[in-house]
Amino acid sequence: MRLEHGQLTAYDQDGDPTATADPDLPVGARLLAATADLGRAAAADAGQLWLRTADDSRRIPLAADAVGLLQGGMIIATAPVFERGATWSTAHRIVLLDRGGAVLDDHLVPDACGAVAAVTVHPGLTQAVIEFAMGQDGTIAQGVQLRPSGLGPLGLDVRELLAGEDPVVGGFSPSGDAVLLLPHPNDPSTATVLAWPDLHPLGRYDCADDPSIEHGIGFTGGFLDEEHVILYAVEQGILIASRELSRVEHVVLEPPLDRHADLEWLAPLGADRFVTGVWAHGGERRAPIWQLHRD
């Protein structure tokens, strides 16, 4: 998705535009989330959250920095908490909003200081994992589920994932029955797959036990399909692992990754394709798409 010059554009996996819309947002607004058909979008501007649907646009007094769009028009938003006069946040809020922008629940994450939030929505659109990245101070990952209305007022159930381990969210499996958590650069050694939503461990890979990994695992990766995960061996190349991370193998790419460029991120595009964000020396940024050839 891209919001540029007042126009919102959706793209397919090859980078070709598939839909455009005029979301009637303020000039300079920052896009936070949008559905693939652009029927719903959320953006931030001047301490306000702007919500757009096909027939409505409204402003919510919430300084949101990340948003997840759920089913039924509901929204999960995160917002930093500042003490008076401070420029560094001391905590974060996780807020559940209804389709009209009314607050249904509000959960405080007190240890997310100076954090940058990112929301990864579950394929079922009723759950999410939220990552609060705090630079050298590590990360906090929170699993969020909508509380069924039959169990009381509609709200959020929030649980921390791998507390104390600084996990980086790699994303859900396509069916949503597992979530990949990657290591923080402070200790780039271990990747973990947890079952969702009960969070029991399905597999764990510690590259300290693998002499072929020289510099650790990167904090980017994801599920290619239900049975395979893609990882990055820092300064070495791409790894393909089984779902439970019990089998990990290096993949030879053609053409090979540029050893004189930095891989900043990668994202699966299906079972046999992925895209990388590459920063080349000299300042050029590229996003090449790769095809995997596996037995």
Average pLDDT rounded to a whole number, residues 277-288: 85
Measured CA to CA in angstroms, residue 241 lies from 53, 203, 234, 250, 288 at distances of: 40, 11, 15, 9, 22
Average pLDDT rounded to a whole number, residues 133-138: 96
Lowest mean per-residue pLDDT among 28-32, 46-50, 200-204, 256-260:
256-260
> What was the pLDDT predicted at 22?
83
What does the alpha-carbon distance between residue 246 and residue 265 come to, in Å, rounded to a whole number? Answer: 23
DSSP H helical ranges for 35-91: none
> What was the pLDDT predicted at 295?
63
SS3 256: coil
Residue 252 has pLDDT above 80, yes or no: yes
Beta strands across the sheet bearing 75-81: 66-69, 75-81, 91-97, 103-109
**How crowded is residue 196: how many other Cβ atoms within 10 Å of its Cβ?**
23
> What was the pLDDT predicted at 56?
84
**Residue bearing tokens 């998705």:** 1
- With cut-offs at 50, 70 and 90, classify the pLDDT of residue 282: confident
> What was the pLDDT predicted at 149?
64
Rounded to 10 degrees, the C-alpha dihedral 147/151/152/154 comes to 20
Tens of pLDDT, residue by residue over 32-89, are 999 999 999 999 998 999 998 878 888 999 999 999 999 999 999 999 999 888 889 9
Residue 119 has pLDDT above 70, yes or no: yes
- With cut-offs at 50, 70 and 90, classify the pLDDT of residue 210: very high
**Residue bearing tokens 């029927």:** 39
Lowest mean per-residue pLDDT among 51-55, 62-66, 120-124, 258-262:
258-262
Closest C-alpha among 148, 146, 186, 145 to residue 167: 186
What does the alpha-carbon distance between residue 76 and residue 125 come to, in Å, rounded to a whole number? Answer: 11
| E strands, 196-260, in order | 201-206, 222-223, 228-233, 237-242, 248-251
Contact 203, 243 (CB under 8 A): yes
Tokens of 89: 């946040």
Tokens of 129: 């994992």
Burial 280-293 (b: 16+ CB within 10 A, else e): eeeeeeeeeebebe
Average pLDDT, the chain: 92
The DSSP bridge partners found for residue 59 are 50
245: DSSP letter: S
- Say what percent of the chain tops pLDDT 90: 72
pTM score, whole prediction? 0.93
What does the alpha-carbon distance between residue 79 and residue 175 come to, in Å, rounded to a whole number? Answer: 29
Average pLDDT rounded to a whole number, residues 127-141: 97
Tens of pLDDT, residue by residue over 138-184, are 999 999 999 876 656 689 999 999 999 999 999 999 999 999 999 99
